[in-house]
Amino acid sequence: MANKKFGTLVTENMGGYTWYKNARLNRVTSWENQPNLDIPTEVIYIKDEENNKQWSIGENPKPDNKNYNIAFGMGYTKYIHKSDEIEQEYKIFVPKEDSIKVGILKLKNMSINRKKLKILYYAKPVLGEDDIKTNGYIYLNYDKNNNIICAENLYNTDFKNDIIYVSNSEKITSFTGSKNFFFGNGDLSNPDALKKPNLNNENSIGEKPCIAYEIEIELESLSEKEIIFTLGAEESVLESKNVAYKYNKIQNCRQELEKIENYWKELVGRLQVETPLESMNIMLNGWTLYQTIESRLIGKTGFYQSGGAYGFRDQLQDTLCLKYFEPEIIKNQILMHSKHQFIDGDVEHWWHEDTKRGIRTRFSDDLLWLVYLTCEYIEFTGDYSILNIEMPFLDGEILKENESERYDKYLESKENGSIYEHCIRAINKSLNFGENGLPKIGSGDWNDGFSNVGPKGKGESVWLGFFLYNILNRFKEILQNYKNIKSEIKNDIKQQIEKYEIIMSKLKKALNTNGWDGRWYKRAFMDDGNILGSMQNDECRIDSIAQSWSVISDAGDNDKKYISIDSLENHLVDKENGIIKLLDPPFENGKLEPGYIKAYLPGVRENGGQYTHASIWLIIAEAMLGFGDKALEFYRMINPIEHSYMEQII
């Protein structure tokens, strides 16, 4: 759940983390990199003062029974539980604009007796990238009059003005910034704070910090009450107080929650798909779109990987599905990414927008995704005017001969170019072919793990050949229909079209001769002469994306396309486990040294696991070949809803 400035990720156990501006560099609460444990960094404890029963709102870390239910909605998450004759519903959301996480806790006393409750809120703050780096530097300030606790990192240089805060609709009776005091001899599942009459009202400077406070409430017989918990961030204490004051009013929270729910309802409602397969309907009618926007484009983070950065290839790929709902998002993404292209045509592999720092590499496919998305946008909208928009390039020292990458702060150059010129520079930079007539792979293509395939400048990529062919073919068509052309580039466009047609002819021939291995397409040629994706190999005999893109690109010979997809199905589709493998067999003990892909366990991630982008490309290829039943079967097979359903049956 996120907006452009602020976001939070929550799990079924009420774990997760919160961030402001950047999900990696400026975390509000800690990202616990232990996915098997799902340790929460925000906890709400409830204690019945009459019978001393104690439990947490979420199933982790202090459950009192197993009767916890969770509902994930578009823009909100709801936790439902009953304990000690009290029905509890905790609904979390992030507003459309404000940098705050709002939790509405509804308590309903189902007994005939009055309930006197103590509620403790605990958070593990970071205010930076890592809590280990910020321990001892976080300063707390409790403003009793405004019922707010503010915290700042005294040594945060990149986000030095940022303030995080917590507040409540009920009066805060005591607080602490000391993790040692809060836990005492206990731990997260049983903190000493639950046994103490109140917290010590002391700061956290110089020690391991926490932000904890307590409130006290009474629930009359058969009555209910709503309590607001807020966690937010701003660039000043005054603004923090203003926003906290706004959201400590239940009516304001309800209005903002309704606003965010209506936003998603309207957006996903623009296109609805109806099929006989309900799990497919659920994914296509909202959830894929929601996760793409919230997790990939806005948050740029996930439970297993908290990056916070823009990937040049990644976020451009991610916007493809949005053309049916909001093509303006694609346009904005193209314009943003064009600013991260160097004058020479190559691009930053990834960057942090907040710090202007990123990494320049020799990856061979990143820059072409700018052209690919421009083609998608124009073909879908008919809006050729995007080609005339002027955007800056980046300045930066060119990588040295033996330098594969450089992380640095890169600034905009004084030189601008139209999106047309940005695309031309990307294509021209990619027209670098090896002895097999295929584009050179550099330090990796779509599979980043192939870092040792072509760093010496000889390795070539078969998949990249298909990808480049597709781009040249589509961009050529766009140039032929480009009406509002500046007079000075009319001849240039004519020459570009003629050049692309010659290159495409040679490339298609190379792909179907040197790139063909008898029953499927090879994947790559390495600097040392070894081949990836050959039936002669003990490892990586066949790779998925070279086969699927032979169809998608329309560069594969007609008979070879059908043969290669049949081979992909036979070798990479694992129906028993419900996955479509990226390659097989995985790298492990063989002679091939393709790069850091070999550091992954066999069958994990790029090393022979399922990479869902590649699986979807197979499904697209099956549909393009007219095999609709197979496309549906494979979509169902990899659908996470189907995996969850089968696990429940087992």
Provide the angle, in degrees to the nearest 10, between the axes of the packed helices 366-381 and 419-430.
Answer: 140
Q: Considering only CA atoms, which of 310, 245, 303, 298 is closest in space to residue 6?
A: 298
Least confident of 79-88, 94-103, 191-200, 475-484: 475-484
**Residues linked to residue 108 through DSSP beta bridges, in sequence order:** 87, 224
* Dihedral over Cα of 510, 515, 518, 521: its sign: negative
CA angle 346, 312, 398 (to 5 degrees): 25
Stretch 304-330: mean pLDDT: 93
> What per-residue confidence (pLDDT) applies to 646?
54
> What are the CA-CA distances from residue 639 to residues 10, 23, 320 (Å)?
21, 27, 19
Q: Considering only CA atoms, which of 221, 219, 260 is closest in space to residue 91?
A: 260
> What per-residue confidence (pLDDT) applies to 647?
53
Cβ-Cβ contacts under 8 Å for 593 (sequence gap 6 or more): 452
pLDDT digits (tens, 9 = 90+) for 185-238: 999 999 999 999 999 999 888 889 999 999 999 999 999 999 999 999 999 999
pLDDT digits (tens, 9 = 90+) for 550-570: 999 999 999 999 999 999 999
User: Which amino acid makes up residue 145?
Assistant: N
Pairing label, strands 16-20, 6-10: antiparallel
What is the number of residues in the chain? 650
Pairing label, strands 115-123, 209-219: antiparallel
Q: Is the pLDDT of residue 157 over 80?
A: no
SS3 78: strand
Residue pair 386/374 in contact by the 8 Å Cβ criterion: yes
CATH superfamily of 6-266: Glycoside hydrolase, family 65, N-terminal domain (2.70.98.40)
> What per-residue confidence (pLDDT) applies to 650?
46
| Biggest alpha carbon–alpha carbon distance for the chain | 87
pLDDT digits (tens, 9 = 90+) for 405-464: 999 999 999 999 999 999 999 999 999 999 999 999 999 999 999 999 999 999 999 999
> What per-residue confidence (pLDDT) applies to 119?
98
pLDDT digits (tens, 9 = 90+) for 267-283: 999 999 999 999 999 99
Residue pair 69/81 in contact by the 8 Å Cβ criterion: yes
- Greater pLDDT, 161 or 186: 186
User: Which amino acid makes up residue 398?
Assistant: I
Q: Determine the Cα–Cα distance for residues 365 and 441; give it in Å rounded to an integer.
A: 8
Give the H/E segment covering residue 176: strand 174-178
Residue pair 504/512 in contact by the 8 Å Cβ criterion: no
Q: Is the pLDDT of residue 490 over 80?
A: no
For a pLDDT cut of 70, what percent of the chain falls above it? 99
CB neighbour burial string for 12-30, b if at least 16 within 10 angstroms, e if fewer: bbbbbbbbbbbbbbbbbbb
**Residues linked to residue 80 through DSSP beta bridges, in sequence order:** 69, 89
Q: Determine the Cα–Cα distance for residues 266 and 264; give it in Å rounded to an integer.
A: 5
Q: Let me know if 185 is exposed, middle or buried by CB neighbors in 10 A (0-12, 13-18, 19+).
A: exposed
Q: Determine the Cα–Cα distance for residues 550 and 465; give it in Å rounded to an integer.
A: 9
pLDDT band at 65 (very low <50, low <70, confident <90, very high): confident
User: Which amino acid makes up residue 469?
Assistant: Y
Q: Determine the Cα–Cα distance for residues 578 and 233; give it in Å rounded to an integer.
A: 42
pLDDT digits (tens, 9 = 90+) for 569-587: 999 999 999 999 999 999 9
Q: Is the pLDDT of residue 648 over 70?
A: no
DSSP 257: H
Q: Determine the Cα–Cα distance for residues 354 and 22; give it in Å rounded to an integer.
A: 7
pTM: 0.93
**Residue tagged 């003062």 (tokens):** 49
DSSP 295: I
Q: Determine the Cα–Cα distance for residues 290 and 638; give it in Å rounded to an integer.
A: 18
Give the CA count within 13 Å in the CB-facing half-sphere of 486: 12
SS3 76: strand
Cis amide leading into 125 (omega within 30) = no
> What are the CA-CA distances from residue 61 to residues 41, 50, 56, 189, 364 (Å)?
10, 22, 7, 5, 46
> What per-residue confidence (pLDDT) applies to 156?
82
pLDDT band at 93 (very low <50, low <70, confident <90, very high): very high
> What are the CA-CA distances from residue 173 to residues 51, 108, 143, 178, 410 (Å)?
21, 22, 12, 16, 49
Cis amide leading into 61 (omega within 30) = yes
Domain boundaries, the chain: 6-266
Cβ-Cβ contacts under 8 Å for 644 (sequence gap 6 or more): none
Q: Determine the Cα–Cα distance for residues 96 and 19; give it in Å rounded to an integer.
A: 15
Cβ-Cβ contacts under 8 Å for 418 (sequence gap 6 or more): 387, 388, 389, 390, 391
Q: Considering only CA atoms, which of 212, 243, 239, 253 is closest in space to residue 92?
A: 253
User: Which amino acid makes up residue 58?
Assistant: G
Chain-centre distance for alpha carbon 286 = 17
Q: What are phi and psi of 115, to 5 degrees?
A: -115, 130
Q: Considering only CA atoms, which of 542, 537, 539 is closest in space to residue 521?
A: 542
Q: Is the pLDDT of residue 597 over 80?
A: yes
Q: Determine the Cα–Cα distance for residues 619 and 610; give it in Å rounded to an integer.
A: 13
The CA R_g of the chain, rounded to the nearest whole Å, is 28
